[in-house]
């Protein structure tokens, strides 16, 4: 998967790749020329006392060094652009894929893991590309060129390279084989840290209310220690590898000086040639060491690339139709025809045998016990999930045959957990309609019973909203989310338990305002309170994923025992109050 990602995302940047290779080749050739020139200075200049030759060759070496520095800088610049560009495109690709996911895929991966994959995992792959461009490209050039140049200097000492290089490769291989499982475990444990951190930040009020700070701190410390333990294990392997590599390099240097010194003493080799051979051997071994450094990064980058690829290659279960149907005259009718929905691997369906019709411009309420499938049912209309059997139709067209943008444009969804984005009240309301005027925003706020508290906030429409809307109360959050849907002015409104945080008086006022101001819109309401749905045109009673009652409030009191029990239980609770 690592190679696949690199080919896919680096191919468009081939001019930068060519630039990196050309300039790294130039700086490697420059590095390989210097030891030979240094040997010539010693053999032909110092030994013979030829001062002009020393100056001229030294000036040439200085010029070559300057070329080497410039080429190295340009190569690193191109490599940085290459790595940063790949990271940008990879994150954009991941984000685009995740945004297209349905709730099913998001639930399978989990939000903490998706965040890690789009940040830490991409960073590891990006870093590998950066280091490859700066080290790995030049490493084989130096190693291969060093071997050739060293053999040109003295073939008789070349056996030392035949011993030291395989020893280095064996050390690196043994370490890498041990490091791959450690890096796989590390990424999983980083996911766990993200998950715990998100839970603790989101549920900080609950943690404090139940005095669970110590337990949560211990849970986070335990997860952190898991990452630290894995990191130490990988660090110990690295700590072993580099001293072992340096030991081989130093022993090789001693061997060259030892055996080369004997040859110099016997007149078989010149002193300059010995120093040149030693420098070339160091370049070869350094090339191997740079490759070893790369091989340390490859296992972790491979693990990260596999995790990234798993997201990119996972198709969304909610697919756009190849030939979308263009709706004719829109009315807002919704029909459920023998709908069934099951989660993958579930023993039994969440919904089964669901069949009812929502007439245009009417209000249909859905009520039932917790876990009866209410939110899942209304999630089928905007295709947060797709049915596993049966059909959901809008204006007699299967929602799976509509273009997703067309479908979503016709629906205003207020989710069960009202979520606001960081910014201002105006920016949040205009999320439904970017061209909405201030008067339209105020009108929507008035319908949603939110105008009074917005006017009381510093800045009014420009009042600041924190991420998630944490600087306003739950009821205010719900009313702002309802106002956002109203600004969109769709033909179908879906309220998923969107009045739960409102007091009874505000709930009643908001429903009256909705009836008066959006009379032609179709409304689906999921609610727990009977008072919220009492006046609905029809009420659907769910129990264990099946419809056990359908009709008006009065009809259900006479025909549905489940609905009657819900009403009686709420009346018995409200009576003492």
283 and 408 housed in the same domain: no
**Banded pLDDT at 442 (limits 50, 70, 90):** very high
Confidence at residue 573, expressed as pLDDT on a 0 to 100 scale: 47
148-162, 388-402, 429-443, 464-478: least confident range: 148-162
Contacts of 502 (CB under 8 A, 6+ apart): 449, 475, 478, 479, 510
pTM over 0.75: no
102 and 148 housed in the same domain: yes
Bridge-partner residues for 320, per DSSP? none
171 and 305 housed in the same domain: yes
Q: How far apart are CA 63 and CA 30, in angstroms?
A: 10
Of 17-26, 190-199, 242-251, 369-378, which one has max mean pLDDT? 17-26
Is 465 among the domain residues? yes
Of 36-45, 211-220, 243-252, which one has max mean pLDDT? 211-220
User: Which whole-number Å values give the CA distances from 53 to 31, 32, 59, 438, in the listed order?
Assistant: 21, 20, 10, 83
Q: Report which of 523, 516, 521, 476 is spatially closest to residue 495, judged by C-alpha positions.
A: 523
Question: Where in the sequence is the domain holding 502, given as residue range(s)?
Answer: 334-574
Number of domains in the chain: 2
**Banded pLDDT at 282 (limits 50, 70, 90):** confident
264 and 343 housed in the same domain: no
pLDDT in tens, 501-546: 788 888 888 888 888 888 888 989 888 888 888 888 899 998 888 8
Q: How far apart are CA 65 and CA 59, in angstroms?
A: 10
pLDDT higher at 421 or 149: 421
CATH code (residue 70): 1.20.1560.10
429 and 551 housed in the same domain: yes
Q: In this prediction, what percent of the chain has a pLDDT beyond 90? A: 3
φ, ψ for residue 539 (rounded to 5)?
Answer: -125, 130
Q: Is 468 left (phi over 0), alpha (psi -120 to 50) or beta?
A: left
pLDDT in tens, 229-269: 888 887 787 778 778 877 887 888 788 778 777 777 777 77
User: Per-residue pLDDT averaged across 221-230, rounded?
Assistant: 86
253 and 287 housed in the same domain: yes
Q: How far apart are CA 485 and CA 523, in angstroms?
A: 12
CATH code (residue 557): 3.40.50.300
For the cut 60, the answer to whether the pLDDT of residue 403 exceeds it is yes
Tokens describing residue 248: 């081989």
Rg (CA), the chain: 35
Bridge-partner residues for 339, per DSSP? 354
Confidence at residue 70, expressed as pLDDT on a 0 to 100 scale: 92
Confidence at residue 139, expressed as pLDDT on a 0 to 100 scale: 77
CA angle 361, 363, 364 (to 5 degrees): 130
Is 507 among the domain residues? yes
Tokens describing residue 240: 């072993």
The DSSP result for 336-392, as a single string, is: EEEEEE--TT-SS-SEEEEEEEE-TT-EEEEEESTTSSHHHHHHTTTTSS--SEEEE
Tokens describing residue 396: 């007699």
Strands 546-551 and 389-394: unpaired
Confidence at residue 66, expressed as pLDDT on a 0 to 100 scale: 92
Confidence at residue 572, expressed as pLDDT on a 0 to 100 scale: 61
pLDDT higher at 38 or 344: 38
| Buried-exposed string 48-71: b where 16+ CB fall within 10 A, e elsewhere | eeeeeebeebeeebeebeeebeeb
Strands 363-368 and 538-543: parallel
pLDDT higher at 168 or 516: 516
Q: How far apart are CA 428 and CA 420, in angstroms?
A: 7
Tokens describing residue 521: 């819109």
209 and 132 housed in the same domain: yes
* Mean pLDDT (the chain, rounded): 83
Is 265 among the domain residues? yes
Measured over the CA atoms of residue 545, residue 549, residue 553 and residue 558, the dihedral's sign is negative
Is 511 among the domain residues? yes
Is 322 among the domain residues? no
68 and 121 housed in the same domain: yes
Is 300 among the domain residues? yes
Q: Can you say how many angstroms the Cα of residue 172 is from the centroid of all Cα atoms in its chain? A: 31
149-158, 223-232, 444-453, 509-518: least confident range: 149-158
Confidence at residue 4, expressed as pLDDT on a 0 to 100 scale: 82
Is 318 among the domain residues? no
Q: How far apart are CA 145 and CA 141, in angstroms?
A: 6
409 and 263 housed in the same domain: no
38 and 69 housed in the same domain: yes
For the cut 50, the answer to whether the pLDDT of residue 577 exceeds it is no
Strands 411-414 and 423-424: unpaired
Is 323 among the domain residues? no
Contacts of 356 (CB under 8 A, 6+ apart): 335, 336, 364, 538, 540, 547, 550
Q: 3-state DSSP call for residue 539?
A: strand
301 and 376 housed in the same domain: no
pLDDT in tens, 559-575: 888 888 888 887 764 54
For the cut 80, the answer to whether the pLDDT of residue 341 exceeds it is yes
φ, ψ for residue 548 (rounded to 5)?
Answer: -115, 5
Confidence at residue 575, expressed as pLDDT on a 0 to 100 scale: 46
340 and 304 housed in the same domain: no
Confidence at residue 326, expressed as pLDDT on a 0 to 100 scale: 79
Q: Where are the alpha helices (DSSP H) in 348-498?
A: 374-379, 404-409, 425-429, 438-447, 451-455, 474-488
């Amino acid at each position: 998967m690592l190679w696949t990602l690199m080919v896919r995302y680096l191919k468009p940047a081939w001019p930068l790749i060519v630039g990196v290779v050309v300039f790294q080749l130039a700086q490697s050739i420059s590095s390989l020329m210097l030891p030979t020139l240094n040997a010539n200075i010693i053999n032909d200049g110092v030994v013979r006392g030829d001062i002009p030759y020393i100056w001229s060759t030294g000036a040439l070496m200085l010029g070559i060094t300057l070329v080497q520095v410039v080429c190295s800088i340009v190569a690193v610049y191109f490599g940085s652009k290459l790595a940063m560009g790949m990271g940008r495109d990879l994150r954009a690709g991941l984000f685009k894929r995740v945004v297209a996911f349905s709730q099913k895929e998001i639930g399978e991966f989990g939000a903490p893991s998706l965040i890690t994959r789009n940040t830490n995992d991409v960073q590891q792959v990006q870093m590998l590309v950066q280091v490859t461009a700066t080290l790995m490209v030049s490493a084989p050039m130096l190693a291969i060129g060093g071997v050739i140049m060293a053999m040109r200097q003295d073939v008789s000492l070349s056996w030392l390279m035949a011993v030291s290089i395989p020893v280095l490769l064996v050390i690196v291989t043994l370490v890498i084989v041990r490091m791959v499982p450690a890096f796989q475990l590390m990424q999983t444990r980083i996911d766990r840290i993200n998950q715990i951190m998100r839970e603790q930040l989101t549920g900080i009020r609950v943690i404090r209310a139940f005095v669970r700070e110590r337990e949560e701190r211990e849970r986070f410390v335990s997860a952190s220690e898991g990452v630290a333990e894995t990191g130490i294990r990988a660090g110990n392997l690295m700590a072993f590898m580099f001293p072992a590599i340096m030991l081989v390099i130093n022993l090789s240097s001693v061997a060259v000086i030892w055996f080369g010194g004997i040859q110099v003493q016997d007149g078989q080799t010149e002193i300059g040639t010995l120093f040149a051979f030693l420098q070339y051997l160091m370049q070869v071994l350094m090339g191997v060491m740079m490759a070893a450094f790369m091989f340390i990064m490859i296992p972790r980058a491979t693990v990260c690339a596999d995790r990234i690829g798993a997201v990119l290659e996972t198709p969304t279960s909610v697919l756009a139709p190849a030939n979308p149907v263009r709706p004719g005259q829109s009315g807002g009718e919704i029909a459920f025809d023998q709908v069934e929905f099951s989660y993958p691997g579930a023993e039994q369906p969440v919904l089964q045998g669901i069949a009812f019709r929502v007439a245009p411009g009417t209000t249909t309420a859905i009520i039932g016990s917790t876990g009866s499938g209410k939110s899942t049912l209304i999630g089928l209309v905007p295709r947060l999930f797709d049915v596993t059997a049966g059909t959901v139709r809008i204006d007699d067209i299967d929602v799976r045959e509509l273009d997703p943008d067309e479908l979503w444009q016709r629906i205003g969804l207020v989710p069960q957990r009202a979520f606001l984005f960081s910014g201002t009240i105006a920016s949040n309301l205009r999320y439904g309609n970017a061209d909405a005027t201030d008067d339209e925003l105020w009108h929507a706020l008035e319908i949603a019973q939110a105008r009074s508290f917005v006017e009381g906030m510093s800045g009014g429409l420009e009042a600041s909203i924190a991420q998630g809307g944490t600087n306003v109360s739950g009821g205010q959050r719900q009313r702002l989310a309802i106002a956002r849907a109203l600004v969109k002015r769709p033909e179908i409104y879906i309220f998923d338990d969107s009045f739960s945080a409102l007091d009874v008086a505000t709930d009643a006022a908001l429903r009256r305002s909705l009836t008066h101001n959006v009379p032609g819109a179709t409304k689906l309401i999921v609610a727990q309170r009977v008072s919220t749905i009492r006046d609905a045109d029809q009420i659907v009673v769910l129990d264990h994923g099946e419809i056990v009652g359908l009709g008006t409030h009065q009809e259900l009191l006479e025909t549905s025992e489940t609905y009657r029990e819900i009403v009686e239980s709420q009346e018995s609770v409200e009576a003492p109050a």
